[in-house]
C-alpha cells in the first residue's frame, strides 16, 4: 500500500479483500483526508507518543497516526480485518494490530507491554454509537495514564459530552466525562464522508485528562450515585427524583431538609447543577447521614 492512500481507496480495498461491512459492529469507514488530519492534529502527538487506536477498520487513520507517533496499537474487534491490517502495514514496525474487544481487553497490559519508551499515551477512536458510553466510562474510570482521548462519535452523543448545565443535552454522561477531563468539540463530520454512509452525522471530540478531577469529593461512588439519580427523571425536581431514586427510605421532608442544608433549592432540577454543586450535595449527604 503506497503512502496515504487508504482513505482514497476504501471501496477498492473492501473489494480486494471481499469485505462486507457489518452493521452490527457499526462499521462506517472515514474517507475524508481533512477530517482524518484534524483528528490526528487534535491528539497532540509527537515522535515519543504512544497511541491506542480503537476500531481501526482498514487503517485510514492508523497510517496517519503512525506518521506522528512512536508506537500505535490498533485494537480491532472484527477478526476478518486483522489479516488485512497486518498485510497493509507489514512494513511499518511501529504499528501493532491486536484482535480484541475494547470492552474486555486489558488496557493496563497493553500500555505496559508497548509504551514503556513513550512519554505520553493517547487513545484515538471511531466509536460506534452502541458502545460509546461504556467504552468511555471504562477508559476514564480505570484511571489509565492517558493524556488525551480523541473520539469520533455520533453527533448527538458528542453534544452530550460537551454540554453545559441548563441545556437539554446536559446529563449524567456530561458530568462523568467533565469530572475527569476537559472537553472540546474538534469538528463536525457529515455522513457523506463515510463508506457506507450512516444515517446520522458525527463529530470529533477531544477529552484532555485533568491532573486531578474537576471537583474534590470524599466518596466518589456516592458522587456518581447522586448524579445518576438527579438525571433519572429529568422533568422532576431534585426533591422528587432524589427521593424516588436514592433516598426512598427517608421521608420527603428529610430529603428537603438535606437539600436545604446543602444550599440547594429542592425545587431545582438536576440539569441545572454544576459539577461543584453535585460535589456539595455529596459532602452534605455525608454530614447529614452521619448526624441522624
24: confidence class by pLDDT, cuts 50, 70, 90:
low
Closest of 103, 46, 94 to residue 73, by C-alpha? 94
CA angle 253, 255, 259 (to 5 degrees): 115
pLDDT tens digits, one per residue of 44-70: 999 999 999 999 988 899 999 999 999
- Beta strand 194-195 with 120-126: parallel, antiparallel or unpaired? unpaired
Q: Which CATH architecture does the domain made up of 220-290 adopt? A: Orthogonal Bundle (1.10)
The domain locations on the chain are: 7-209, 220-290
221 among the known binding-site residues? Answer: no
The confidence score (pLDDT) of residue 262 equals 95
CB 73 within 8 A of CB 83: no
- pLDDT score of 251: 94
pLDDT at 2 exceeding the cut of 50: no
Whether residue 30 is annotated as binding a ligand: the answer is yes
Q: Read off the pLDDT of residues 206-256 as tens digits, 9 standing for 90 and up.
A: 999 999 999 999 999 999 999 999 999 999 999 999 999 999 999 999 999
pLDDT of 92 over the 80 cut: yes
pLDDT score for 292:
63
For residue 93, pLDDT over 80 is answered with yes
Residue 189 has pLDDT above 60, yes or no: yes
Q: Between 210 and 26, name the one with better pLDDT.
A: 210
Q: 98 or 291: which carries more pLDDT confidence?
A: 98
Main-chain dihedrals φ then ψ at residue 72, nearest 5 degrees: -125, 125
Q: How distant, in Å, are the alpha carbons of 60, 83, 84, 88 from that of 1?
A: 11, 14, 11, 6
The answer to whether 127 is a known ligand-binding residue is no
pLDDT of residue 1: 42
Q: Over 80: is that where the pLDDT of 17 sits? A: no
In the CATH hierarchy, which top-level class contains the domain 7-209? Answer: alpha beta
Please give the mean pLDDT across all residues of the chain: 91
* Locus of grid cell 509504551: 115
Q: What is the pTM of this model?
A: 0.90
Annotated ligand binding at 55? The verdict is yes
Residue 76, annotated ligand binder?
Answer: yes
- Band of the pLDDT at 198, cuts 50, 70, 90? confident
> What is the length of the chain?
292
SS3 11: helix
pLDDT, average across residues 165-178 = 97
Is residue 216 a known part of a binding site? no
- % of residues, the chain, pLDDT over 70: 92
Percent of the chain with pLDDT over 90: 79
Amino acid at each position: 500500500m503506497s503512502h496515504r492512500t487508504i482513505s482514497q481507496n476504501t471501496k477498492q480495498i473492501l473489494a480486494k479483500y471481499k469485505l462486507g461491512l457489518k452493521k452490527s459492529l457499526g462499521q462506517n469507514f472515514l474517507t475524508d483526508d481533512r477530517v482524518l488530519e484534524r483528528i490526528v492534529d487534535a491528539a497532540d502527538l509527537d515522535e515519543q507518543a504512544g497511541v491506542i487506536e480503537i476500531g481501526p477498520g482498514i487503517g485510514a487513520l492508523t497510517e496517519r497516526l503512525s506518521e506522528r507517533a512512536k508506537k500505535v496499537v490498533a485494537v480491532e474487534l472484527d477478526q476478518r480485518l486483522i489479516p488485512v491490517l497486518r498485510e497493509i502495514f507489514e512494513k511499518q514496525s511501529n504499528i501493532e494490530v491486536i484482535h480484541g474487544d475494547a470492552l474486555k481487553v486489558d488496557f493496563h497490559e497493553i500500555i505496559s507491554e508497548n509504551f514503556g519508551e513513550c512519554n505520553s499515551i493517547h487513545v484515538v477512536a471511531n466509536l460506534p454509537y452502541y458502545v460509546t458510553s461504556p467504552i468511555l466510562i471504562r477508559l476514564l474510570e480505570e484511571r489509565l495514564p492517558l493524556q488525551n482521548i480523541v473520539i469520533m462519535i455520533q453527533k448527538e452523543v458528542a453534544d452530550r459530552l460537551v454540554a453545559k448545565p441548563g441545556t437539554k443535552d446536559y446529563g449524567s454522561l456530561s458530568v462523568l466525562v467533565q469530572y475527569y477531563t476537559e472537553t472540546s468539540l474538534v469538528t463536525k463530520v457529515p455522513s457523506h464522508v463515510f463508506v457506507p454512509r450512516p444515517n446520522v452525522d458525527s463529530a470529533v471530540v477531544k477529552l484532555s485528562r485533568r491532573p486531578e478531577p474537576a471537583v474534590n469529593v470524599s466518596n466518589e461512588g456516592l458522587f456518581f450515585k447522586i448524579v445518576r439519580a438527579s438525571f433519572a427523571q429529568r422533568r422532576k425536581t431534585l426533591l422528587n427524583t432524589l427521593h424516588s431514586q436514592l433516598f426512598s427510605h427517608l421521608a420527603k421532608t428529610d430529603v428537603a431538609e438535606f437539600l436545604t442544608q446543602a444550599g440547594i433549592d429542592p425545587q431545582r432540577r438536576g440539569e441545572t447543577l454544576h459539577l461543584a454543586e453535585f460535589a456539595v450535595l455529596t459532602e452534605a449527604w455525608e454530614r447529614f447521614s452521619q448526624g441522624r
